[in-house]
Amino acid sequence: MRIDPDQMVTFWEWLIPGMGLLNGFLLVVTLAVLGFIVCYVIAARLYGPAEGFYVIAEVMSKFFREDLPNTSLRRIAALARLAFQEALRRKVLAIFAVFVVGLMFAGWYLDPAADDPAKLYISFVMTSINYMMLLLGLFLSSFSLPADIKNRTIYTIITKPVRPTEIVLGRVLGFTLVGTLLLGTMGILSYVFVTRGIVHYHEMEPMEANARKGASTYDARHSHAVTFLEDGTGVTDEVKSHRHTVSVREVDGKKVYDFGPPEGTLQARIPVFGVLRFTQRDGSVGDGINVGYESTYRKYIDGASLSSAIWTFNNVDESSFGDQLNIEMTITAYRTFKGDIVTGVRGSVILRSPDGKIESERFPFIVKEYQVDRMEIPRKVKDSVTVNHKNSISTKISFKMENSKLLSVATIAANTSVWHQLTSICAKVMRRLAGTFSRASLVFGSRWSSSFASA
Amino acid sequence: MSATAESTAAKSSKTTSEPVIETRNLGKIYRDFWGRKKVYALKSLDIEVKQGEIFGLLGPNGSGKSTTIKLILGLLFPTSGRAFVFGKDSTDVRKNERVGYLPEESYLYKFLNAEETLDFYGRLFEMPAEERRARTEKLIKMVGLEKSRRRQLREYSKGMTRRIGLAQALINEPDLLVLDEPTTGLDPLGSRDMKDLILKLRDEGKTILLCSHQLADVQDVCDRVAILHQGELKELGRVDSLLKVQDVTEVHAKGLSDEAKREIQEVIKRHGGEVLTVDNPTTTMEELFLDIVRQSENRPGHRSVE
C-alpha cells in the first residue's frame, strides 16, 4: 500500500543521470547544424559558395557579438505578455470550451461497468488533454508569428529597439505560460471529473443481527461482500479494483451501516521492464511464433506443448511491494482451429527464482481477450516440486496452455509485491503489450489509498 | 539636376548641422522566390535629411517612396549602397531608440486597447512604469482618444487607428519621426490636426520624414521635398523655391472699387507688364469645410446657409 520512492524517477534524476539534459542538448545541436546547412545552401545560391559562407559567418558573429549581449529580459517579458494576451483574447478559450463540453458528455459514454473505471476515466482525461494541448501548441505557435508578418504588425515591433532573439523568445515564453495555465486548469477539472466520476456508495443488504458476513447493495454496476472485524467495523472485498470500509452506528436501537468512499481506485504505476525469451514446443530455448506482428512481445506460443514465454525482471523484491504480487496481463489468443471459440483459452503462471532453482505452483487463468487479466499472487506460495513433482514433466515448465493450438499472451503483468526469494517471474506466455504502450513492460505499482496517479 | 538642386537647398536651409538621415547610392531590387530579379524598386538614391526639417518624399504609386522608408528604417536590406540614421547603419537596432514610425496603415495589435497598446510599446523601450503611464496619458490626450481609450483597436474607425498609430510612434519622444502617408484616412479636420501636429513637432526640434501623394499636404508642411518616379530621384529642393513662379506677381487687395482696378491695370500696361487675370479669390474646399465644422461646433443646431 505504499510506493517505494527509490523506484520513482524524479525530475532531477531524469534531467542529469537520466540523459534528459543531454538529449535536449543534442537536439539543439542537431537543429543548429541542420539550420546552418539549410542557410548555407540558400546563401550559396544567392551569393556563391565562398561569399555565402562569409555572409552566414557575418550573421552568426553579429548574433553573438550584438544580439545576445544586448538582449533584454524586460523586452522579452513585454513580448511574452503580448503573446499571452493574444492567446487569451483569440483562440484559447475555444479549445477550453471544447474540453469542458467533452467532459460534460463523456460521462455518458464511459462505461461504469468496466473492469477498472478509474483507469478508464484517467485514460480518457489524459488522452483528451494530450490532444488539446497538442492542437493548442500547434496552432498558437505556427500561426502567431507568421500572422504578424503577414499583417505587418511586425513592422511596428522591429522599428522599436527590439532584437530578433527577443521576438522569438518572447513568443516561446508567452505561449509556454498559456499552455502551463491551461494544463493546470484542465488538470484540476480532470481531477474533479475523475474523482466525482468514481465515487459511489453502497448500502447494506438486509442481514442477520450479529452476522459476521453480509453483502452490499448493487450500485454502480457491482456489489461487495462485507466482512465485519472484531472491532465492529467492516471491510468489503475488492471488486473493480476498490474496497470500502463500513462503519456501524446505532440509531434508535437499530444498526445503521455507513459505507465509506471507494479506496484504492486511483493507483500509481511504475513501469518495470523485463526481458522476454521463449521455449519452443519441445521445451528447448528458441523463438516465439510470428503471426504477423514482428515485435518480440507480440509473438505467440504454441498451445498444448512445452512452449513458454519467460519474462525476467530485476528489482522485484518485498521492499517495494507489500502483501501480494498483483499481475495484470493482456493476452490475445490466435486460434488455428475451427469450432469452439467460446470456451476460453487457459494458461498458467509460474514464478521462479533468478537462479531457476525454486519454482512456484501454477496459477491458472482463462484468457480474457481484449481485457486485462488480473492475478493476485499471495506472499507465500507453494513449491512446485513438492506439490507437483510427480506429474510435472519438467521443473522448467512454468506456464501451460491447455486447450488451444496457439496462444499468445500480451502483458502488462503486475501490480505487485513479491517474494524475497523470487525475483524473476517466468511465464509460459507470449505477451503483447496492450493499450497505449507498444513496449513490453511489466507494470508494478502499489496502491495509494486515494491519491491521484503520479506515474 | 538633383545635385544642383541639393546644393541650393543646402545653401538656403537654416538648419545645417549633421544629417539625421543620409543615403548613399541606395538601391533595392526585389527578387522572386528563385532569386531572379523582378523589380528595380529604387535606383541609387542620394539624399540627406538635416536635423529639424520636415522632409517629404513625393511620387506616384510604385515610385519607391515606401521602399525608401523601409530601407531607412531597416525593414529591408539594401541591394546596393547604404543608409545611415543618426550616423548608424540603418540595420542597426540601436538607432530605433531615437526613431518613431507611423506605418502606412496602422499595423497594430487589434486585440489591445489604446492604453495597452501604448503601454506595450513603452515596455519595448524599457521605460519605467510611471514614465509609461505618464506618456500614455499625455499621448492619448494629444491625439484626442480620451473617450475610446479602453476600446479594443478592432472597433476603431480608420481615423482613430491613425491617431493611435501616431501616438505609438511618439511613445519614445523620438528625435526622428518617419510618417508613411500620415493623412490618408483622415477627414479634413483630422488631416489639418495632423499637419498642425507635424509642424508643432518640428518646432520642438524633431526631424520628420514623410511620404505622401497628397500634394496639398506636402505643400503645407514640408520644408524640402524629393520627388521620385520609377525608383529614380527626379527633383530635390526647398518647397518654397520649387513652387515659386518667378515672373508672375500676385497682389491681394481689399475694398477696391472697379475704377481703382481699371487704373491698376493701366499702370501695369504702362510698365510693359501683362495682366493675366483679375478675379475675386476663391477659398479652398478645405477652408470652407473647416469653417463650417467650426461654426457648427460653436453653435450646434445652426445651419450655415449663405
Residue with the bigger pLDDT between A185 and B275: it is: A185
Per-residue pLDDT tens for B24-44? 999 998 888 776 778 888 888
Confidence of residue A269 (pLDDT cuts 50, 70, 90): low
Is B126 within 8 Å of A163 when comparing Cβ atoms?
A: no
Do B70 and B202 share a domain, yes or no? yes
User: Closest to A159 (Cβ–Cβ): which among B73, B111, B116?
Assistant: B73
What grid cell was written down for B181? 502617408
Is B75 within 8 Å of A156 when comparing Cβ atoms?
A: no
Confidence of residue B85 (pLDDT cuts 50, 70, 90): very high
Quick one: average pLDDT of A121-129?
Answer: 87
Do B239 and B274 share a domain, yes or no? no
Q: In angstroms, how far is CA A429 from the centroid of its own chain?
A: 22
What grid cell was written down for A371? 481485457
**Per the domain annotation, does B304 fall within a domain?**
no
Is B124 within 8 Å of A46 when comparing Cβ atoms?
A: no
What is the distance between the alpha carbons of residues B176 and B99, in angstroms, rounded to a whole number? 5
The nearest CA of chain A is from the CA of B47 a distance in Å of 21
> Is the pLDDT confidence value at A391 over 50?
no
Number of residue pairs across A and B with CB atoms under 8 Å?
A: 72
Do B205 and B68 share a domain, yes or no? yes
User: Closest to A156 (Cβ–Cβ): which among B74, B101, B126?
Assistant: B101
Confidence (pLDDT) at B265: 85
For Cα atoms A202, A204, A207, give the angle at the middle one, nearest 5 degrees: 165
Residues near A336 by beta carbon (within 8 Å), at least 6 away in sequence: A405, A406
> Is the pLDDT confidence value at B12 over 60?
no
Q: Does residue A244 contact residue A263 with C-beta atoms inside 8 Å? A: yes
Confidence (pLDDT) at B55: 92
Q: CA of B256: how far to CAs of A443, B261, B262, B269, in Å?
A: 110, 7, 10, 19
What grid cell was written down for B1? 539636376
Which residues in B lie closer than 8 A to residue A160 (C-beta atoms)? 96, 121, 124-125, 172
Confidence (pLDDT) at A336: 73
Q: Which residue in chain B has the smallest CA separation from A152?
A: B107
Confidence (pLDDT) at B15: 45
Confidence of residue A286 (pLDDT cuts 50, 70, 90): confident
Of these ranges, A369-383, A417-431, B177-191, the one predicted with the greatest mean pLDDT is B177-191
> Is the pLDDT confidence value at A62 over 90?
no
> Is the pLDDT confidence value at A398 over 50?
no
Q: Which residue in chain B has the smallest CA separation from A76?
A: B124
Confidence (pLDDT) at A317: 63
Place of cell 530601407: B71
Do B234 and B288 share a domain, yes or no? no
Q: What is the CATH number of the domain that holds B14?
A: 3.40.50.300
**CB distance from B264 to chain A under 8 Å?**
no
Which residues in B lie closer than 8 A to residue A154 (C-beta atoms)? 107
Helix (H, G, I), strand (E, B) or coil at A224: coil
Paired with B300 in beta bridges are none
What is the distance between the alpha carbons of residues B164 and B181, in angstroms, rounded to a whole number? 15
Confidence of residue A427 (pLDDT cuts 50, 70, 90): very low
Do B226 and B284 share a domain, yes or no? no
Is B101 within 8 Å of A75 when comparing Cβ atoms?
A: no
DSSP H or E segment with residue B185: none
Confidence (pLDDT) at A200: 87
Confidence of residue A316 (pLDDT cuts 50, 70, 90): low
Per-residue pLDDT tens for A404-426? 333 333 332 222 222 222 323 33
Confidence (pLDDT) at A412: 28
Chain mean pLDDT for chain B: 83
B124, B171, B173, best to mutate vs chain A, most A CBs in 10 Å: B124
Q: Which residue in chain A has the smallest CA separation from B94?
A: A161
> Is the pLDDT confidence value at B46 over 70?
yes
Residue with the bigger pLDDT between A182 and A382: it is: A182
Do B11 and B151 share a domain, yes or no? yes
Q: How would you classify the pairing of strands B54-58 and B224-229?
A: parallel
> Is the pLDDT confidence value at A308 over 60?
yes
**CB distance from B168 to chain A under 8 Å?**
yes
Q: Does residue B222 contact residue B210 with C-beta atoms inside 8 Å? A: yes
**Per the domain annotation, does B62 fall within a domain?**
yes
Please give the backbone phi and psi of residue A249, each rounded to the nearest 5 degrees, phi first.
Answer: -125, 160
A140, A160, A166, best to mutate vs chain B, most B CBs in 10 Å: A160
Burial of A344 (0-12, 13-18, 19+ CB in 10 A): middle
> Is the pLDDT confidence value at A402 over 50?
no
**CB distance from B101 to chain A under 8 Å?**
yes
Q: How would you classify the pairing of strands B176-180 and B207-212?
A: parallel
Which residues in A lie closer than 8 A to residue B97 (C-beta atoms)? 161
Q: Does residue A139 contact residue A145 with C-beta atoms inside 8 Å? A: no
> Is the pLDDT confidence value at A294 over 60?
yes
Quick one: average pLDDT of A200-218?
Answer: 84
Other Cβ atoms within 10 Å of A31 Cβ, number: 10
Confidence (pLDDT) at A26: 93
Domain count, chain B: 2
> What are the CB-based long-range contacts (under 8 Å, 24+) for B219-224?
B219/B243, B220/B195, B221/B54, B221/B56, B221/B195, B222/B54, B222/B55, B222/B56, B223/B13, B223/B53, B223/B54, B223/B55, B224/B9, B224/B13, B224/B53, B224/B54, B224/B55, B224/B56
> Is the pLDDT confidence value at B16 over 80?
no
Query: Chain A residues with CB-CB distance to B under 8 A?
Result: 45-46, 66, 70, 72, 74-75, 77-79, 81-82, 85-86, 89-90, 151-163
**CB distance from B68 to chain A under 8 Å?**
no
Is B35 within 8 Å of A46 when comparing Cβ atoms?
A: yes
Q: CA of B6: how far to CAs of B1, B72, B210, in Å?
A: 9, 19, 18
The nearest CA of chain B is from the CA of A443 a distance in Å of 49
Is B121 within 8 Å of A156 when comparing Cβ atoms?
A: yes
Q: Does residue B82 contact residue B90 with C-beta atoms inside 8 Å? A: yes
Is A161 within 8 Å of B96 when comparing Cβ atoms?
A: yes
Q: How would you classify the pairing of strands A441-444 and A412-413?
A: parallel
**CB distance from B123 to chain A under 8 Å?**
yes
> Is the pLDDT confidence value at A393 over 80?
no
Per DSSP, helices labelled H in A63-163 are 68-70, 73-89, 92-109, 117-151, 153-158
Average the pLDDT over each of A40-49, A197-206, A303-312, B17-26 and give the range with the smallest value: A303-312
Do B124 and B271 share a domain, yes or no? no
Is B97 within 8 Å of A161 when comparing Cβ atoms?
A: yes
Q: Does residue A327 contact residue A418 with C-beta atoms inside 8 Å? A: no
Do B211 and B238 share a domain, yes or no? yes
The nearest CA of chain B is from the CA of A46 a distance in Å of 7
Is A155 within 8 Å of B35 when comparing Cβ atoms?
A: no
Q: Does residue A94 contact residue A185 with C-beta atoms inside 8 Å? A: no
> Is the pLDDT confidence value at B49 over 60?
yes
**CB distance from B146 to chain A under 8 Å?**
no
Q: Write down the domain spans for chain A.
A: 1-63, 71-198, 213-259, 270-444
What grid cell was written down for B118? 501604448
The nearest CA of chain A is from the CA of B125 a distance in Å of 7
CATH of domain A270-444: 2.60.120
Do B273 and B131 share a domain, yes or no? no
Residues near A275 by beta carbon (within 8 Å), at least 6 away in sequence: A311, A312
Residues near B9 by beta carbon (within 8 Å), at least 6 away in sequence: B224, B236, B237, B238, B241
User: Closest to A158 (Cβ–Cβ): which among B75, B94, B109?
Assistant: B75
Quick one: average pLDDT of A428-450?
Answer: 30
Do B105 and B218 share a domain, yes or no? yes
Per-residue pLDDT tens for B119-169? 999 999 999 999 999 999 999 998 888 888 899 998 888 888 888 999 999
Do B289 and B171 share a domain, yes or no? no
Burial of B242 (0-12, 13-18, 19+ CB in 10 A): middle
Which residues in B lie closer than 8 A to residue A153 (C-beta atoms)? 107-109
What grid cell was written down for B97? 531608440
Interface ipTM > 0.90:
no
Confidence of residue A29 (pLDDT cuts 50, 70, 90): very high
Burial A108-131 (b: 16+ CB within 10 A, else e): eeeebeeebbbbbbbebbeebbee
The nearest CA of chain B is from the CA of A237 a distance in Å of 58
Domain extent, residue B268, equals 258-298
> Is the pLDDT confidence value at B207 over 90?
yes
**CB distance from B97 to chain A under 8 Å?**
yes
What grid cell was written down for B197? 501636429
Chain mean pLDDT for chain A: 73
Q: Does residue B34 contact residue B183 with C-beta atoms inside 8 Å? A: no
Percent of chain A scoring above 70 in pLDDT: 74
Confidence (pLDDT) at B162: 87
Confidence (pLDDT) at A205: 86
Is B101 within 8 Å of A159 when comparing Cβ atoms?
A: yes
What is the distance between the alpha carbons of residues B47 and B85, in angstroms, rounded to a whole number? 12
Do B18 and B91 share a domain, yes or no? yes
